[in-house]
Homo-oligomer: A and B are copies of this chain.
């Protein structure tokens, strides 16, 4: 079977300088490989687009090794078993994999997580019940620790991390202030139950944020950086916690912003307000917390306490444009490519 199929894929053609362009992506097709012992051949159904992938396209030092030029672009996938040489997997099984930007992939069975299509829509394994949802859960549980009556702020709040952050914080009794781009998104934040929703494209974000957080900010869940963080910093309360899981606003930056140098002022605020800034990648907390997350989040979804939104684009060939759009904040909800 695998001899007769072509695998269309998208590879890193060159490293982007600033925002990725079409020439950074190379589309090609190769023969589908056959699974070896203990492996399965997977057909990609859904591909997750995530901001961290922009970092892996660069060769600047980061928490994950960069892709090499020529590599298939990385990404989590919901895939279907086509052919199995692994015990326990049969054709038709649906799994969470890390197949990347291609139609087919061969994976060892040890790297798969089986999905139950009857328990929840399988695409949730890429969003609210997957890495983004767990990022929200773990960052709050391990670092942010919102307390009843405290105020939490999160940006990119209609995105898969931000929307989970705000909704979990509210379940835990905190006030949730969401920041997003445009009226359609802020309206959606109100539907999700956020206490306040601010449009970062409207004028005077600092003033509106101060009004939305009259008792100051106790938790700022940092996933964007840039002007939002600048508006948040003066409002942070003593002992505020800042889990840092992403800096999407800076991922396409090609150099340091112009001065003055605010890093000393940032450290001054850390000292003066006994702040906690803590960067994290969700994998750090998965061994201790992932099972709890699946149990709790599945319950919150079932009860309607946590809702999610998906932004699904049809066709692998549109992945580059959808990816760049996501980095610009043009997606509305979890960005997913429907591959097949």
Contacts and interface: CB of A to CB of B under 8 A. Distances in A.
A246 interface: yes
B266 A274 contact: no
Interface string A243-277: 01111001001011111111111111111111111
B262 A260 contact: no
A270 to B, nearest CB: 4
Contacts of A268: 247, 250
A226 interface: yes
A261 B264 contact: no
A264 B256 contact: yes
Interface residues of A, number: 42
How many copies of this kind of chain does the complex include?
2
A277 B276 contact: yes
A272 B225 contact: no
B244 A271 contact: yes
Contacts of A257: 259-261, 264
B274 A279 contact: yes
Interface of A: 61-63, 222, 225-226, 229, 238, 244-247, 250, 253, 255-281, 284
20 contacts: A62-B272, A63-B274, A225-B267, A229-B267, A247-B267, A247-B268, A247-B271, A256-B265, A257-B264, A258-B259, A259-B259, A259-B261, A261-B261, A263-B263, A263-B265, A263-B266, A270-B278, A270-B279, A271-B279, A274-B280
Contact of A260 (B63, B258, B267, B273): B258
Contacts of A271: 63, 244-247, 279
Nearest to A245: B271
B238 A267 contact: no
Nearest to A234: B61
Contacts of A225: 264, 267
A63 B280 contact: no
Contacts of A238: 63
A9 B269 CA distance: 32
